[in-house]
A and B are shown apart, each in its own frame.
Chain A
Amino acid sequence: MQPDAIQTVTEKRVGLPALFFSFLKTGTFTFGGGYAMLSLLQRELVARKRYLSETDFWETVTLVQSLPGVLVFNTALYTGYKVRGLKGSLAACAGAILPSVVIILLIATVFSPYWQHPALVRIFNGIRPCVVALLFAPAIQMARVTGLKIKNILIALAAILCITVLRVSPIWVLLAVGLGSGLTAYRRAHKPKSDTP
């Protein structure tokens, strides 16, 4: 990575409205959030508008994935920044959030009186177990990617026990595991020094 990666500016100055509409468009047409959005964003930002180079784009995505927060929002934040600084960030973010807020508000205001409608009750009776399946699937896929080592399985099981049975907040689980892995890394880094005189 070049140190001046952030300062790289495209030859032609990108307009703030253009940046806003790029994210508005990808935000309106991606379903299922996060990862589904990446390929659309890549096509819009890299192939069509050439705001970012291919490497810049994936570098941003890799960085953003390890940060907390909403993936799409963070991607907008960083690409906006790379293209037009803080103003660009804000324009891109506004474009990224707007479709979600508008559509959900429409549903909330229009839909709520009909929750008890018999047809909707039946439809949602069918949808709820499907949602549970939709949550198990990424958990299983992510478990495979992370690797089925005993250590990983134990950490995951402990997390499940804490959250579902003991009703500990997931935040404490994340803090404890983060602290634990930091400390093990620290001890591992400092052990060899004392062993080899």
Chain B
Amino acid sequence: MIFLQLCYTFFKIGLFGFGGGYAMLSLIEHEVVHRYGWLSASRFADLIAISQMTPGAISINCATYVGYEAVLQAGYPVFVAILGSILTSLALCAPSLALMILVLKFLFDPKRRARLPYLQPVLDGLKPAVVGLIFSSALLLLNPQNFIDWRSGLICIVALAAVLSKKISPVYLILLSGLAGYLLY
């Protein structure tokens, strides 16, 4: 049952994952934290940090971890959980494979592409919605579990300023804020 839920959920996320990793986090958060409760909001924030610090795509990293954790919570042993995590990652990527066949048939063929005149306006129209999605996932993490007191707010503001100045890589920023957390709390 849990396997079906995981596959269905991450297949859906892969299918509607427009606008890159950060936009996909909003879909993952909705399903994983709010619908199924596989992870708490603070564990989800931890997972984003871990996904950022480890190599690879954020969404695949998240899928792998959620698959492992959800199967483990359902009471299965570790090796089944490992299979679950591989299955979840594959489910996330499966829609891409199916779409590729469609895309190679239509988009790479200029004659057929002309018959899809509304594709570009739709993709352009989705951009502001994707901005809204990313803002939402940030806002939903802005909760008392992740922001315990004023020190959390301070870290967030300093980190935001640093990231927007583009002078420091997110990986170092996570390491530095971890150090700050260790020293401040």
Contacts and interface: CB of A to CB of B under 8 A. Distances in A.
B21 A101 contact: no
Contact of A70 (B22, B93, B124): B93
B5 interface: no
Interface residues of A, number: 93
Interface string B168-185: 011101100111111011
Tell me whether chain B's interface is mostly helix, strand or loop, or mixed: helix
A131 B174 contact: yes
Contact of B182 (A5, A122, A175): A122
A125 interface: yes
- B-side interface size class: 35 or more
Contact of B155 (A69, A107, A129, A181): A129
Interface of A: 1, 3, 5-6, 27-35, 37, 63, 65-74, 77-78, 81, 89, 93, 96-97, 99-101, 103-105, 107-109, 119, 121-143, 146, 151-153, 155-160, 163-164, 167, 169-171, 173-175, 177-178, 180-182, 184-186, 189
Given A178-B122, A185-B121, 5 more contacts: A34-B58, A69-B15, A103-B56, A159-B133, A173-B129
Interface of B: 12, 14-22, 24-27, 30-31, 34-35, 42, 45-46, 48-61, 64-65, 68-69, 78, 82, 85-86, 89-90, 92-93, 95-97, 99-100, 103-104, 107-110, 117-118, 121-142, 145-148, 152-153, 155-157, 159-160, 163-164, 169-171, 173-174, 177-182, 184-185
